[in-house]
Amino acid sequence: MILLVVPHAEGKISKAAYELVTAARNIGREGPVIALVLGSGVAAVAAVAARIADQVLVADLPELEQFDPELWSAAVAQIAQEGEASTILIAASRDGRAYSPRVAVKLDAPLLEDVVSAQDRDGALVAERYSFLTRVTETIEAQSAVTVVSVKPGAFAAAQPASEAAEQFDVDLQLPPRRIVVTGKEKEDTGRVALAEADVVVAGGRGAGSPDGFTKLIVGLADQLGAAVGATRAVVDAGWRPYSEQVGQTGKTVQPKAYFAVGISGAVQHVSGMNKSACIVAINKDPDAPIFHFADYGIVGDVQQIVPALIAELRK
């Protein structure tokens, strides 16, 4: 069987779940696509998963209320072993990438990490992924009876839900004790369109000038375009914007149809989070800013003047 772990948040199935199903169905390996739902109060998530997978395994347990890499990896490895899974697919979100290596070690399996394609070739799994700060595409191969694959969000199309729901089964798990105590959580829900899923992203850097400048210019332009807001690490570190908006090596990876980089110089760490965007628009006062090398369109000029002019033009 091909086992996939269903990503979800706030009681809702994530878009990445549909993408994992597509990855599983196109991988070219035999067996049903089994979705594993781990969490507490996840009946609604399991019901949606039943429309996209061939079978759903559910562990709805109070112990699984809070994500923990040790608990998640123990659960996934156990189910993979019991079901003799050939392939285990996990979303390559930050949490997914924190526990998938542990699953690989438990199963003595190779890990194909953060892949954008995955295909069986004569028993070996061949995948493509990015490396060197998203500047290189490498093709990698794992020859193993069991392989763990973490799948880059946004790399696969979403699977279409079926009209019939697949069967659901509860599973018993032998979970290890929780050793990390979570003493607090700062959730950052901005109430805007989700950054990783947006068609248009407007991102700002230090060039926005100040927190107020950011709100007026970057958020203002995003509002006008119905876009998500992104930020550089420097802006987040300065406390201007929440971490959830950070794009780059230590933040989110996005690939919208249009990415507006406003007052962003274009450090490789930032570019590695956005250089897969279909169209990149750069606005910066420095004509030598590296961001212009990655831009399809751009304006060399003062963002304090250009952005209000853009907003006015879009309003026309």
Residues 217-236 that bind another protein (CB under 8 A): 225-226, 233
Closest C-alpha to 87, from 74, 75, 100: 100
Spatial separation of the C-alpha atoms in residues 207 and 135, rounded to whole Å: 25
| Ranges within 16-55 binding another protein (CB under 8 A) | none
| Ranges within 115-144 binding another protein (CB under 8 A) | 126, 129-144
- Please tell me whether residue 6 binds another protein under the rule CB under 8 A: no
Query: Which of 33/295 has CB closer to another protein?
Result: 295
243: left (phi over 0), alpha (psi -120 to 50) or beta: alpha
- Please tell me whether residue 187 binds another protein under the rule CB under 8 A: yes
* Residue choice 30, 122, 163, 181 for contact with another protein (CB under 8 A): 181
Query: Which of 54/275 has CB closer to another protein?
Result: 275
Spatial separation of the C-alpha atoms in residues 253 and 239, rounded to whole Å: 20
Query: Which of 86/275 has CB closer to another protein?
Result: 275
Spatial separation of the C-alpha atoms in residues 9 and 289, rounded to whole Å: 38
Contact 279, 296 (CB under 8 A): yes
**Binding string, 270-309, against another protein, x = CB under 8 A?**
--x--x--xxxxxx---x----xxxxxxxxxxx--xx-xx
Copy the structure tokens of residue 5. Answer: 């772990």
Spatial separation of the C-alpha atoms in residues 104 and 218, rounded to whole Å: 42
* Residue choice 118, 250, 265, 266 for contact with another protein (CB under 8 A): 250
Q: To the nearest whole angstrom, how small is the minimum distance from the Cβ of residue 155 to another protein? A: 14
- Please tell me whether residue 206 binds another protein under the rule CB under 8 A: no
251: left (phi over 0), alpha (psi -120 to 50) or beta: beta
DSSP-assigned letter for residue 281: E
Q: Which stretch binds another protein (CB under 8 A): 34-42, 46-54, 102-110, 206-214?
A: 102-110
